[in-house]
Structure 1
């Protein structure tokens, strides 16, 4: 068992609670993105036993974080939204040089790759102007909202594995984010099970698709991933904070995020 994955899951879980922040980006920062895709797709095959030691501690960390910190993140977003978002903004910006180096941008990217990067980045950035759907909290299940929550979890989890695309932001756009956070903070088990089932299905499908693309179309996929990450900067950017304490807190949070990203990048196995 790779028990150090518990703290990695902790970080991924926190990021997945923040609209605009991607668990896939955090996996890239930690240097485990490729292994994560391989382990998820491999877990549902005959070789599942060799992947469980990687996934189980990671799942424990993510699960505990979602349960224990949903109220904390909700509190921070309500009371300190800009510093919280600027911290994750620092993480996202900090990972761009690391992924660019991994992708060998200077060596491998041609004009078409840069065009793809810009198109994908602009497409994601444009979602910042999309108005979220009605976010009334669902506390009991009906046949209609059960299907809706399941497919929302499916789409959200597919987004979670894509660096730069936030699963929470997808839930926000679909009007399900408030329901998911409320279910976690109040331990509404039926709601959690339905969304969780959609999340599992989404993980299975998307991990295999992304893994296939990285193997067959490596440079184009990296271009799209970098575009997604750059585009997410515009999605999460909360605007210029007010002068005084909010501004100072936001600057400190941004710098802290950059430092944390660089620490993890330096410690990442793929950077050695």
Structure 2
């Protein structure tokens, strides 16, 4: 039976995963591999099904508590609760910090993201084989989808509740896949900056409500946060299962698609910086050194993580 030290360790592993999930280009799934909980995470997530959810909800009635407790153990519920608590803590903290950096240092921040994404793609390209028409088509499709979406979504997609719901479904499901960053997909969909700001204001709203300073920020941000989380729940039990199925049936083609998706997404940080520079009037020639230096830092971080996970097979 796990003791307090084991649960604290698991919580800290969740913090590490959440910190990675909150920045584009670094995958929480990769961190799960490094800290040795990836297989248990996948087993727990895929054990959750409608039948067990119904049994858990039925536990609200005293007569059904024993069966609900059994269902909770079947999905490794304690593991999921503690891990998700760690992930949630880190995501909130990191996104609040990122929101500040995007306001004050947008060029360097997006440059850092560019380095994270580029190094992640370079590391993963070694696992991609484009020796069949099917794999080549998958690679072209992944690259084209991300490249086109990176230019279109940043300027055309509004942050309506349906869009936030879809973004949550896509991003959260990707967070459990090694090498694929959920936050990166938020950047591609043009929702990363919006969600980081929303989460930051949501936390401020909770603090203000607790201190009795009003709840306007909480009321404003609760709908998009709820839509994102609901989308995330749907995504974990639909998209994540679909990708897992695709990896089991056509692993090489699926990997080619996912890695090419990352390569195509390199356009997203450049587009975001271009928008900021056009608003401020600063030329690219002046911003390029800051962008490049931050990109080197981001790439170095990914290479360090890869060094510790290179020997792990999944």
Per the normalisation by structure 1, the TM-score is 0.74
CA distance in 2: counterparts of 1:148 and 1:98, whole angstroms: 31
CA distance in 1: counterparts of 2:150 and 2:90, whole angstroms: 26
The higher radius of gyration belongs to 2
CA distance 1:175–1:62, change in 2 (3 Å): closer
CA distance in 1: counterparts of 2:285 and 2:96, whole angstroms: 28
CA distance in 1: counterparts of 2:251 and 2:20, whole angstroms: 24
Give how far 1:10 is off. Answer: 3.2
Q: 2:259 aligns with which of 215, 226, 233?
A: 226
Give aligned pairs, total: 251
Q: Tell me if 1:110 matches 2:135.
A: no
Give how far 1:216 is off. Answer: 1.1
Q: 1:183 aligns with which of 188, 202, 216?
A: 202
Do the aligned partners of 2:167 and 2:186 also contact (CA within 8 Å) in 1? no
SS of the counterpart of 2:265? helix
Give how far 1:243 is off. Answer: 4.5
Unaligned runs of 5+ in 2: 1-6, 53-70, 207-217, 278-282
Deviations 1:15-34 (A, max 9, x none): 2xxxxx266x4534764696
Q: Tell me if 1:76 matches 2:101.
A: yes
CA distance in 2: counterparts of 1:222 and 1:233, whole angstroms: 17
Do the aligned partners of 2:18 and 2:86 also contact (CA within 8 Å) in 1? yes
Q: 1:168 aligns with which of 176, 186, 203?
A: 186
Give how far 1:86 is off. Answer: 1.5
CA distance in 2: counterparts of 1:75 and 1:175, whole angstroms: 10
Deviates more, 1:177-186 or 1:64-73: 177-186
Deviates more, 1:256-265 or 1:187-196: 187-196
CA distance 1:236–1:270, change in 2 (3 Å): farther
SS of the counterpart of 2:169? helix
SS of the counterpart of 2:156? coil
CA distance in 2: counterparts of 1:172 and 1:218, whole angstroms: 28
2:291 match: 250
Q: Tell me if 1:204 matches 2:223.
A: no
SS of the counterpart of 2:157? coil
SS of the counterpart of 1:12? helix
1:129 match: 151
CA distance 1:185–1:156, change in 2 (3 Å): farther
Give how far 1:175 is off. Answer: 11
CA distance 1:197–1:226, change in 2 (3 Å): same
Q: 1:85 aligns with which of 90, 110, 120?
A: 110
CA distance in 2: counterparts of 1:39 and 1:161, whole angstroms: 12
Per the normalisation by structure 2, the TM-score is 0.65
Question: Please, what is the CA RMSD of the aligned residues?
Answer: 3.6
Unaligned runs of 5+ in 1: 16-20, 137-144
Do the aligned partners of 1:30 and 1:264 also contact (CA within 8 Å) in 2? no
1:139 match: none
